[in-house]
Amino acid sequence: MLKIFKDSDPLLRTRAKQISLPISDSDRELALAMLEHLKESQDPLFAAEHNLRPGVGLAAPQVGESKHIIVVHIPRGKTERLTYVLANPIIISSSVRRAYLRSGEGCLSVDENHPGHVYRHYKIKVKAFDILKNEEIEINTFGYPAIVLQHEIDHLHGVLFYDRINEENIVKYPDALSL
């Protein structure tokens, strides 16, 4: 299990550093430990025993490392998962259409509830180094996975989800999809 740094830590408000490629053994170990943490957090028995909040994404700054590494592990059905373990991810294109999570966003680094909608791009294309495949990739995705990737990439730039909440509750994007 990794220690999750809270939003009060200044590290979560700073820009993380790009990592050098080929990826070092220590950066690979960090990324795999982050993936393991997400898997453990999604196991109800393990999570209850170790007081873990379930998560679907994690960025290196959240575990105390100022590095451009993110991990996404999204349940799809009972046994399937969508998993990305990425270094130096960058959004290279995005849709005009926006989407938001009806229930609002949450974060392993944020304990308080922050009600409100975070409008994000519905579709994105991400270029990154896939640590599991050991190669450069492009990811075209939409909907919930796109929102999760944008949330984690924000962490690499010192941005937290509640920075993007519309405080005045104005409908900024009337055609935004509610997920």
Do 161 and 110 contact (CB within 8 A), yes or no? yes
Q: Point out the catalytic residue in the list 36, 49, 135, 152.
A: 152
In whole angstroms, what is the distance from residue 155 CA to residue 7 CA? 10
Contacts of 158 (CB under 8 A, 6+ apart): 12, 13, 14, 15, 16, 61
In whole angstroms, what is the distance from residue 70 CA to residue 94 CA? 19
In Å, what is the CA distance from 40 to each residue of 33, 47, 138? Answer: 10, 6, 27
Q: Checking DSSP bridges between strand 98-100 and strand 177-178, what pairing results, if any?
A: parallel
105 catalytic per annotation: no
Active site residues: 152
